[in-house]
Structure 1
């Protein structure tokens, strides 16, 4: 089982775009309805997990049949969401890259909690990202190079109370040694000028959100 790059499919918004992000050799983890999405599209989750309260008994039987391994959790006696359970499991395998799909949807509480999971990956030193068809979200704590993936906007939002030493290169609106505090919208809707740009942070945690309408 190759764990260099792990993709988590969870129960938010998913579509054909998510399948197109899979590369040969990726390890696939399906959380609850995310596992059903995979098997419905002819894909085999290496691991399916959750309390499976979002699928029918017949669908769960199908998930078990089509998955490499199935991990069941009690819907009441558990401390974490199915998505966090999948995230923690993926991180325990120490991948170089972790990508979560279906983490954004109609439940804002779940979406925000999923974005906060990026901090856990950052502490472990794992490159992690949340993707859907309109957004790509990652966390910067030192320096990252951002390749142009076709998104119209790049927004910067502090995840910590304050982020200092922010320097942007290759952006329409550059910054040099700037400070952003949580609650400010100054970093919204910047744009890359070319095929890549760099973001440097001296201290703090900065959410980097690529998006399109």
Structure 2
């Protein structure tokens, strides 16, 4: 395990969750990524021919045979009690990743059909930002990151729409460059839809924030 995790601060940790993960996920992976499977996300990784550095969770969404399949193909397996735990499987994996201070954490399939889990996963972005670790949530239709004070670069990729929604009660000093609908020193409060459905003019643009926390949500219909 030690050799497998050498220089993790220079690498990305990619967490596959139990949400919807499709063929697009292969495009998100890089050769040097450290892979973590949270619950059924571990099954996705091993059945894709990949070897998770860690598979963890209560595994209440897999069969005993599937869990054995995960065990055989993982460097480390950590099974926790489904009742006596404080965090979701995704947050357990996220905390493990954050403690290792990687270059970036990418959560695949963390925006699912359970809105409570989705919102909890979005809130993890704040923890990563405060720890100084870049973090993104990616699924079939969306990519979500957090912009705090400073400048954030947004690249088009496979997502055509960009929406900006406050995570803090108010976000000030919002300036957009490279967008169809520019903003200059704007202010957004929770409950406003002014930042919904913008479009990049080229391959990338920038979002500048003075104070507050702003969700940058890229999406495709």
- Determine if the TM-score, normalized by the shorter chain, exceeds 0.5: yes
Corresponding position of 2:110: 103
Aligned to 1:150: 158
Task: Provide the residue aligned with 1:160 in structure 2.
Answer: 168
Whole-Å Cα distance in 2 between the matches of residues 131 and 102 of structure 1?
6
- Distance in structure 2 (CA, Å) of the matches to 1:20 and 1:192: 21
CA RMSD in angstroms, aligned pairs only:
0.8
**Structure 2: gaps of 5 or more residues:** none
Q: Distance in 2 between matches of 1:73 and 1:138?
A: 29
Runs (4+) of structure 1 exceeding 4 A deviation are none
> What residue ranges of structure 1 are gaps of 5+ in the alignment?
none
Q: In the alignment, what sits opposite 2:216?
A: 208
Between the two proteins, the alignment pairs up a number of residues equal to 213
Instruction: Tell me the equivalent position of 2:24.
Output: 17
Matches within 5 A, 1:28-43: 28-43=35-50
Q: 2:185 aligns with which of 164, 168, 177?
A: 177
Displacement of 1:52 in angstroms is 0.5
- Partner Cα separation in structure 1 for residue 81 and residue 36 of structure 2: 18
Instruction: Provide the C-alpha distance between the structure 1 equivalents of 2:138 and 2:147, rounded to a whole number of angstroms.
Output: 16
Q: Secondary structure at the match of 2:146?
A: strand
Cα distance per residue 1:65-102 (max 9 Å; x no partner): 11000011110000000000000000001001110001
Deviations 1:4-58 (A, max 9, x none): 1110000001011112211111000000000011111111111000011010111
Which stretch has the larger CA shift, 126-135 or 78-87?
A: 126-135
**Matches of 1:25 and 1:194, distance apart in 2:** 29
Write the distance in 1 (CA, Å) between the matches of 2:46 and 2:191: 41
Whole-angstrom distance in 1 between the partners of 2:57 and 2:96: 12
TM-score, structure 2 length as denominator?
Answer: 0.94
Q: What SS does structure 1 have at the residue aligned with 2:24?
A: helix
TM-score norm. by structure 1 comes to 0.98
Q: Which residue of 1 aligns with 2:124?
A: 117
- Residue number in structure 2 paired with 1:54: 61
